[in-house]
Amino acid sequence: MTTQTEHNRMANAIRFLSADAVEKAKSGHPGMPMGMADVATVLYTKFLKFDPK
């Protein structure tokens, strides 16, 4: 189980990566990934089964 601090760090990582991707592409809008970063973090840490192997 993740703590609130871990959750915030993961969500912020998603936000920074989405902003970097938009900046690198020089196109796009990061609003949705920034707004949904918390939802994605909860889904991947609590509900979805993901094995990167």
For the chain, what percent of residues have pLDDT higher than 70?
Answer: 98
pLDDT interval class at 1 (50, 70, 90): low
Q: pLDDT tens digits for 8-30?
A: 999 999 999 999 999 999 898 88
For the entire predicted model, the pTM comes to 0.81
Distances (CA, A) of 4 to 21, 31, 48, 51: 26, 23, 19, 23
Distance CA 37, CA 12 (A): 7
Tens digit of each residue's pLDDT (9 = 90 or more) over 24-53: 998 988 889 899 999 999 999 999 987 878
